[in-house]
Structure 1
Amino acid sequence: MELDVSNLNPTEQSDTVPAAGAPEQSDLDRKINLYFPGVVVRKDLVKTVKGNAIVPSYVLEYLLGQYAASDDEATIVAGIDAVRKILADHYVHRNESELVKSIIKEKGRHRIIDRVSVVLNEKADVYEASFENLGIRGVIIDPGTVKANEKLLVGGVWCICDIEYSHSDDSRVVPWILGSLKAIQMSSFDFGGYLAARREFTSEEWVDLLIQSIGFNPDLFGRRAKLLQLVRLIPFVERNYNLIELGPKGTGKSHIFSEFSPHGMLISGGEVTVPKLFVNNSNGKIGLVGYWDVAAFDEFAGKKKRTDKALVDIMKNYMANKSFSRGVQTMGAEASMVFVGNTSHTVPYMLKHSDLFDELPEAYHDSAYLDRLHCYIPGWEVETIRGEMFSTGYGFVVDYIAEVLRSMRNSDFSDKYQAHFALGPEISTRDRDGIHKTFSGLMKIVYPTGEATPEEIEELLRFAIEGRKRVKDQILRIDATFDPVNFGYTDMAGHWHPVTTLEEDEYPAYYQVAQQAAAASTGDGAGTPHSVGAPSPSSAPGPATVAGPVEEKLFEGQRDFVENQRGVSYEALFLPYLRGAAEIELHDPYIRMNHQGRNLVELLALIASAKDPADEVTFKLYTTLDDDPNYQQKQLQMLSQIRQEAAQQGLKVEIAKDPGGHDRWLRTDTGWRINLGRGLDIFQKSDGGWFDLGTSRQEFRQVRAFGVTYIKELF
């Protein structure tokens, strides 16, 4: 029986309950409130007021911005109460829709918060509104209201509406009447004031303010990690920006595009069609790209996903030329395209056996499509979101910063580096465009005044070059007809500065092998070349194993260890017997407490460090759940986090119920069984903390009395 931990997010703990009292303000928080009064909010308040209301964060922050945009605790408390009351009285829960209808009927008029969409009824020549949660449709809406809120026609908009009820004996007449409609988004802001206030912050302070605005605690992020988060904002500030992010689950790839801005639309990858995205030929109605600033495709990865070739072709043309065809008519749009998806393999595995676009559907695993991408965010560098990573500090009300970013789409900062640096001459026009758009977007986000030092500009330029280089280097693995590019730049003194990707520095042997293969395959020109980077039939990879030579003769029999003995480690006890194994089983019914989880992690880390980084090993854990529901939940969260972390190191951890009793053992597919008297729990408890050498090296810890039996099983 498999223990289902796949849907458990290790961050989903009791952190949704606000801590007693207000968190102490930092110096940055005080500065934020000083220069941006009325447009910032304490970020933990969203969780406080949300309850079970399924609404985007920008809707809640819109309300908080009206009532709780202050650093005065009394105002915040009163504002929270006001927002809670508004949600309780006016937000429509689906399962309470009939109750709300009854309230509207009895009162005659009632204000609601719901997602509203509009269609044109051609036969009656009227616009008709539908209310998602309330479950009513066919409500007549004034054309002027539709014109002022055109996104009602595509995907729908969260709105505050007054609904009236007037019954008619004519069954064809809808009894619901729209009294008023207000889209939940800011109508105006002072951009000059925004720029003036920006000048009061250092680069570090401003980046931290933006990270807090996204909802994260900047103290838990390094500079590079912060910039990776900010790249996700570029599609909102840059027109026709094509961005992709592939990485492990749980890193928040789609959060920005579903929660951060009323100008972005998150679409499930399987729901995309040509009429929905571009244009409906039957009625000439333009699709999402004509109304939204950002169209983001969630769950985009998946090799076996079915794709519409017509959609792929029109998307290629749009991403390259900002236009698409409808018959003989060519239409243009400004929406940026974002593609996010999960990876199932580690970076070295993909580099060794294929490429970093390995997870994409076959129709998109195409050099012509990939070459249109301006930047590739390395999602594997982004940490899995944990509860403690969320901010309790102040950040912009997201609706405010969303409007600021949108207003800057008209600006072009792509030339801001040219007074100090020049791109390498080998960089093609398309590569240059990608670098320019990423650099321009980051400049507008981090330095919206356009004022930055050469060092600050250089940081963003290198980041922009790396994002495009990651795209181009992987294309070279797929299509050998593309020419290699020497990515880098020169400074005003004429010194050359090469740029590499982080994975290129970490795994040079695997990163460069495809380029070498490309050179070899184009040199002789004979036969049909294989996809560059894919292994040829003669060199196809075998099963992954724990690396290292297999000893000719390993000890068989019983070993006993006495209490307080030192010099014992998992490496000495187990590693010689695990070498060469592609599949390892651990039967231990007691992986429940934190220290037992730590023991498991140390064994997995040993296996991961001993194998080839580009290979994957299957580790099957058979254990049991705690009888106490509270401890069981914590146990499942711990196991889920361990599995996620192990996957990033090439270990596929499978967790199932242990069918046995209390016996504990390890077994490998190479024929070894190791009976473990105490399981992995062989070390004595220590309170030495990080300053105890035993925390870093198992050999320095004292053990409990235990025994181990090594048995070579016959196949």
Structure 2
Amino acid sequence: MLEETDKDIILNKLLTYFPGKIVRKDLTKRIKEGANVPIYVLEYLLGMYCSSQDEKVIEEGVHNVKNILAKNYVRPDEAQKIISKLRETGSYTVIDKVSVKLNYKNDTYEAEFSNLGLRGVPVSHTYPLKYERLLSGGIWCIVQMEYYYNEGDKRRVPFIVHKLTPIQMPRIDVDEIKAARGEFTDKEWIDVILRSTGMEPDNFSNREKWLHLARLIPLVENNYNFCELGPRGTGKSHIYKEISPNSVLVSGGQTTVANLFYNMASKQIGLVGMWDCVAFDEVAGITFKDKDGVQIMKDYMASGSFARGKEEKNASASFAFIGNINQSVDVLLKTSNLFEPFPEVMGMDTAFLDRMHCYLPGWEIPKYRPEYFTDNYGFITDYFAEIMRELRKISYGDAYNKYFKLGNQLNQRDAIAVKKTVSGMIKLIHPDGNYTKENVEKILRFALEMRRRVKEQLKKIGGMEFYDVNFSYIDLETFNEEYVPVPEQGGGNLIPEGMGKPGHVYHVSRGKSGMIGVFKLETQMTAGNGKFERTGLGSNSAAKESVDTAYKYLKANSKSISGNISIETKDYLVNVQDLNGIGMTTSLTLSTVIAICSVALNKPPISSMVILGDISIGGTLIKVDELANTLQVCLDSGAKKVILPLTSASDLGTVPPELVGAFNLIFYKSAEDAVFKALGVE
């Protein structure tokens, strides 16, 4: 926990530079638990009545806020009771979400009350002109209403809006925020931002703080495509539902192009034109009624524009795709890909997924417990939302150009994604534009990782089209090139560096699932009478036959390899492991021959080696299918040397030169030649 003096320092700075714009977040919690209203509505009221450090004033303020909510907040099930009170008393103040439409037949503006259930209520033209959000989706308001029934005009609605006060902060001066930011250290400012979202930063690691910050990027960056998949209970939808009145959460389910983009019948723009961020909750359930829905979404995600009819429309809303991963990440990486929870029409469409600027690893954020929510001071939510909205007008995407350039494995789409993430994180941490080279480097590494996670999964789904995943950046001062990994890609450890044990070999080929993966063979030899056993193959008869073929081949040909290989006086046991969990391969004959020879001669294979290809019972070489994809798996798994059949040499033209250059390629022209080269025998 922070020392008391440190908390006081932050609080004193907030009181000095942001007077009347902060609130104690435990007060929000206390009232939120008993009132189903958005946090920004609560904090608007708390800012009015509890803007003090005096406990007595705070308690009175909380009491007032509770009374106001109990008396004036409209619950949908009590709408008729409120309407009745309005009729009986003649006037009543309500808190409700209000939207306004122009009735062009009567040339009047009419209000619609969400919870109260009233429509067609006349409202002065001054309100929609002053508060445009009333016309685009509606905003929460405190409304003083009156009731007047005119016997002479029964068609006239008896409800009158006397005064309408949006629950929104007035426009802010972003220059004041930039000036005040310089008075806080980086750590202090990050803690203030996180507390403003309701989180207690003292209970999170630095990495977890940054992941929480990244959830805010769609709110500060225009046309940002964000994805977060992870376990339940980690607050994925909290930001978009509660923290900003400028974002809308679309619950998983059927949606339409008209609702999301443009209604051609009413000529009204959809959600992307009304909100700063459109978040899709439970991505697994997203479906479009329209066949062209995903295509239009792809166009918008790439360019910020979409065509409907003869018109092309532009909008700046960001997309946030959030959902649950029900398996462990390790299992998902081995058996499928990290986009697996998406519906098939999106999850297998590489063009759609390639438009994601950031994939946040939601599994790294701990499941929320009570102590993760703060009791300290942060910005009033609506003020914070307005800060984020103002920051959308500036960009820091070129912040790293002064110090670094991106490596050559990033294409144009990768570079755009990295720039947008860099811009978003700098806006959140350094909104004043004052940052050092070290600040930018840390943010750049983070941005590269978030984009690489997208690319790694695209490689799994789309193959060699997305082979260039080794993202890096180059220091313009020292010309050092730094590569940025993604933590969950543990593949580099599958094939360890250094000399292995005799009888231990690695083989890469296609498994039962159709995916390419790594298989490890471990072989034991004991004195005996020529018995042969194999384990780890389950009920896969084709795999068993492939291993048995190797033993038969050695029985007939071992003397041509070495007179020291004894088949009749030794027993052999071969165990095969499927290291990626993709289902057992059936191409194990050559690997088994090399493994048995290795243990029989007590000679380990050459270091960091993998075996590709196979042989038939007669010794005919079987070339490697999809050589480029297979070599990419070798690289990802840590291989440095690759033994492959001479018959595959003609396919090297299909492999990117950078990939070919990553290995020491060793060709074999027969099974015996493969054994000699794999064991380093001249």
CA separation of 1:143/1:347 partners in 2, compared to 1, >3 Å: closer, same or farther? same
Q: 1:383 aligns with which of 366, 371, 395?
A: 366
1:353·1:534 contact (CA, 8 Å) conserved in 2? no
One-letter amino acid of the structure 2 residue matched with residue 109 of structure 1: S
Q: CA deviation at 1:309?
A: 3.1
Q: Deviations over 1:188-214 (max 9, x none)?
A: 223222222211111111111111111
Number of the residue aligned with 2:459: 476
Counterparts of 1:426 and 1:410, CA distance in 2:
30
What corresponds to 1:295 in structure 2? 278
Q: Is the contact made by 2:288 and 2:294 (CA closer than 8 Å) also made in structure 1? A: no
The answer to whether structure 1 residue 367 and structure 2 residue 340 are counterparts is no
Match among 33, 44, 54 for residue 15 of structure 2 = 33
Shift of 1:342: 0.9
CA, structure 1 residues 172+506, in 2 after alignment: closer, same or farther (shift >3 Å)?
Answer: farther
TM-score, scaled to structure 1 = 0.67
Is it true that 1:501 corresponds to 2:486 in the alignment?
yes
| TM-superposed deviation, 1:344 | 1.3
Determine helix, strand or coil for the equivalent of 2:345.
Answer: coil
The partner residue of 1:487 within 467, 471, 480 is 471
- Give the distance between the partners of 1:172 and 1:461, measured in 2 at CA: 63
Which residue in the other structure is 2:218 paired with? 235
Does 2:172 align with 1:177? Answer: no
Residue 91 (structure 1) aligns with? 73
Q: Report if aligned partners of 1:325, 1:331 keep a CA contact under 8 Å in 2.
A: yes
What is residue 409 of structure 1 aligned with on the other side? 392
- The separation in 1 between residues aligned to 2:471 and 2:354, in whole angstroms, is 15
By how many angstroms is 1:122 displaced? 5.1
2:379 equivalent to 1:396: yes
- Aligned position for 2:551: none
How has the CA–CA distance of structure 1 residues 455 and 175 changed in structure 2, closer, same or farther, with 3 Å as cutoff?
A: same
Distance 1:173 1:51 in 2: 40
Distance 1:500 1:142, change over 3 A: same
Kindly, what percent of the aligned residue pairs are identical? Answer: 46
User: How far apart are the structure 2 equivalents of 1:111 and 1:396?
Assistant: 27
Is 2:431 the partner of 1:442? no
Distance of aligned partners of 1:537 and 1:427 in 2 relative to their CA distance in 1, 3 Å threshold: closer
SS in 2 for 1:182: strand
In 2, the alpha carbon distance for the partners of 1:132 and 1:613 equals: 55
SS at match of 1:475: helix
Distance in 2 between the 1:294 and 1:537 partners? Answer: 36
Matched residues, number: 509
Q: Which amino acid in the other structure matches residue 84 of structure 1?
A: K
What's the secondary structure of 1:364's corresponding residue?
Answer: helix
Q: How does 1:104-183 map to 2 (within 5 A)?
A: 104-121=86-103, 123-169=105-151, 170-183=153-166
The alpha-carbon distance between structure 1 residues 269 and 150, as it changes in their structure 2 partners (threshold 3 A), is farther
Give the structure, 1 or 2, with the largest relative contact order (CA under 8 Å, sep 6 or more). Answer: 1
Alignment CA distance shift 1:269-1:25 (3 Å): same
Q: Tell me the equivalent position of 2:24.
A: 42
After superposition, the Cα gap between the structure-2 partners of 1:153 and 1:273, relative to the gap in structure 1 and judged at 3 Å, is: farther
Preserved contact between residue 348 and residue 507 of structure 1 (Cα < 8 Å) = no
Amino acid paired to 1:369: F
2:41 aligns to what?
A: 59
- Whole-angstrom distance in 1 between the partners of 2:9 and 2:368: 25
In structure 1, the residue matched to 2:192 is: 209
Deviation at 1:27, TM superposition (A): 4.0
| Residues 40 and 70 in structure 1, CA contact (< 8 A), matched pair in contact too | no
Residues 518, 579 of structure 2: 8 Å contact kept: no
- Secondary structure in 2 matching 1:443: helix
> Could you tell me whether the CA contact under 8 Å between 2:110 and 2:123 is conserved in 1?
yes
Residue in structure 2 matched with residue 19 of structure 1 by the alignment: none
Deviations 1:165-191 (A, max 9, x none): 111334432211122222211112232
Task: Give the distance between the partners of 2:18 and 2:512, measured in 1 at CA.
Answer: 53
**Secondary structure of 1:112's match?**
strand
Measured after TM superposition, the shift of residue 430 of structure 1 is 0.7
Inter-partner Cα distance in structure 2 for 1:161 and 1:444: 35
Q: How far apart, CA to CA, are the structure 2 residues paired with 1:316 and 1:193? A: 38
Q: 1:429 aligns with which of 401, 404, 412?
A: 412
Distance, in Å, in 2 between the alignment partners of 1:503 and 1:164 is 60
Once residues 35 and 178 of structure 1 are traced to their aligned partners in structure 2, the CA distance between those partners, rounded to angstroms, is 37
Distance change (3 Å), C-alpha of 1:52 and 1:134:
farther
Letter in 2 for 1:345: Q
CA contact (8 A) 1:301 1:343 kept: no
1:537–1:468: structure 2 CA closer, same or farther, 3 Å change rule? closer
Q: Distance in 1 between matches of 2:121 and 2:109?
A: 8
Measured against aligned partners, the alpha-carbon deviations of 1:34-70 in whole angstroms (never above 9, x if no partner) come to 3322111111101222353211111111111222233
The one-letter code sitting in structure 1 at the alignment partner of 2:291 is K
- Contact 1:58-1:259 at 8 Å conserved across structures: yes
Report the 3-state secondary structure (helix = DSSP H, G, I; strand = E; otherwise coil) of the residue aligned with 1:116: strand
Distance in 1 between residues matched to 2:86 and 2:472, nearest whole Å: 64
Question: By how many angstroms is 1:124 displaced?
Answer: 4.2
Q: Is the 8 A contact 2:31 2:66 kept in 1?
A: yes
- 1:281 is aligned to 2:259: no
Pairwise CA distance, 1:540: 14
Distance, in Å, in 2 between the alignment partners of 1:457 and 1:402 is 25
1:75-98, CA deviations, whole angstroms, 9 ceiling, x for partnerless residues? 322322222222122111223222
Q: Alignment partner of 1:309: what SS?
A: coil
Contact 1:105–1:165 (8 Å) recurs in 2: yes
- 1:136, distance to aligned residue in structure 2 (A): 1.7
Which runs of 5 or more structure 1 residues have no equivalent in the other structure? Answer: 1-21, 511-519, 522-529, 542-547, 549-579, 581-610, 617-715
How far residue 271 of structure 1 moved from its aligned partner, in angstroms, is: 4.5
Q: CA deviation at 1:385?
A: 1.0
Report the Cα distance in structure 1 between the residues aligned to 2:24 and 2:290, rounded to whole angstroms: 44
Q: Which moved more, 1:353-362 or 1:61-70?
A: 61-70
Contact 1:46 1:60 in 2 (8 A): yes
Q: CA contact under 8 A between 2:246 and 2:275: conserved in structure 1?
A: yes
1:365-423, Cα deviation, whole Å (9 max, x unpaired):
11111111110111111111111111011111111111111111111111111222111
Q: Distance in 1 between matches of 2:473 and 2:518?
A: 38
| Residues 33, 71 of structure 1: 8 Å contact kept | no
Structure 2 partner of 1:197: 180
2:615 counterpart residue number: none
Could you tell me how far apart the structure 2 residues matched to 1:220 and 1:71 are?
24
Tell me the equivalent position of 1:536.
514
Aligned to 2:252: 269
SS in 1 for 2:46: helix
Query: Residues 305-336 of structure 1: CA distance to partner in whole angstroms, max 9, x if unpaired?
Result: 66643211111101111111121111101111
Measured on the aligned residues, the alpha-carbon RMSD in Å equals 3.0
CA distance in 1, matches of 2:397, 2:381: 25
Larger Rg belongs to? 2
CA distance in 1, matches of 2:244, 2:91: 30
CA distance in 2, matches of 1:538, 1:271: 35
1:225 to 208, 214, 224: 208
Is the contact made by 1:348 and 1:613 (CA closer than 8 Å) also made in structure 2?
no
CA 1:448–1:306 in 2, change beyond 3 Å: closer, same or farther?
Answer: closer
| 1:295-314, Cα deviation, whole Å (9 max, x unpaired) | 111111259x6664321111
Offset from partner CA, 1:594-622 (integer Å, 9 cap, x none): xxxxxxxxxxxxxxxxx999779xxxxxx
> Scaled by the length of structure 2, what TM-score is found?
0.70
Using a 3 Å threshold, how does the CA distance of structure 1 residues 459 and 612 change in structure 2: closer, same or farther? Answer: farther
- In structure 2, relative to structure 1, the CA distance for the partners of 1:24 and 1:242 (3 Å cut) is closer
